[in-house]
Amino acid sequence: MARLYATRRASYPAAMDKRFLITGGAGFIGSHLSERLIRAGQRVIVLDDFSTGRIENLSSVLPSQNFQLVRDSVENELTVNTLMASCDAVFHLAAAVGVQLVLDEPVRTIRTTIHGTEVVLDSANRFARPVLITSSSEVYGKGTRVPFDEDDDVVMGPTSTTRYCYAYSKGIDEFLGLAYFKQYGLACDHRTAVQYRRTATGGPVRDGAAAIRHRGTEE
């Protein structure tokens, strides 16, 4: 299991009845997270542009009075700021999803991943909201050491190979999260950024087209 990037403990209270913003919440992980939070008595706002997420994934939480769905891009600063002001914490899951999408639309992949995270972090910092940033095991690159470690040196493929734009973009996400913490995090105890690198996941409502190929697959 990947180690959390947590450079300090947040003093944010673990009280019930919080409102959580989930970007990319109509995807596989986001929809399950929404269900879990709603069952726990929390309130949830999902922000998703449905470029890869599906409304069907949220069918079990749509009827809940504790659930709100906003259809828009995570790159829309006005929308993100509005939702950030009304939430207590953020799960930032929005990103380009699917190997084929990465290969077919590298510009969209890079913009959605990096600029989306920049918008979320800037807003979270402005409103002093704790945020969880989801990275990817792709950031480990071509490392052969087992188990992987976040402090390992990284060997990545060439920038001329399109598939690596996702890994590089997620790496920039991590740099952004750590930079926002180091530069602004000391000003407020409950302003913190936590990052984790997830591996390929599977389960109910998982879209097979979004599965990660073997690292040897290149284009």
Q: Which residues are catalytic?
A: 166
**SS3 state of residue 46:** strand
Distance (Å, rounded) from C-alpha 103 to C-alpha 157? 14
Distance (Å, rounded) from C-alpha 76 to C-alpha 92? 14
> How many other C-beta atoms are found inside a 10 Å radius of the C-beta of residue 15?
7
Among candidate residues 167, 161, 162, the one with its CA nearest the CA of residue 140: 167
Distance (Å, rounded) from C-alpha 15 to C-alpha 18? 7
Position of tokens 């990660």? Answer: 212
Distance (Å, rounded) from C-alpha 61 to C-alpha 163? 34
Distance (Å, rounded) from C-alpha 154 to C-alpha 35? 36
DSSP 37-72: HHHTT-EEEEEE--SS--GGGGTTTTT-TTEEEEES
Residue 20, strand partner residues: 44, 89
| CA angle, 189 then 119 then 44, to 5° | 70
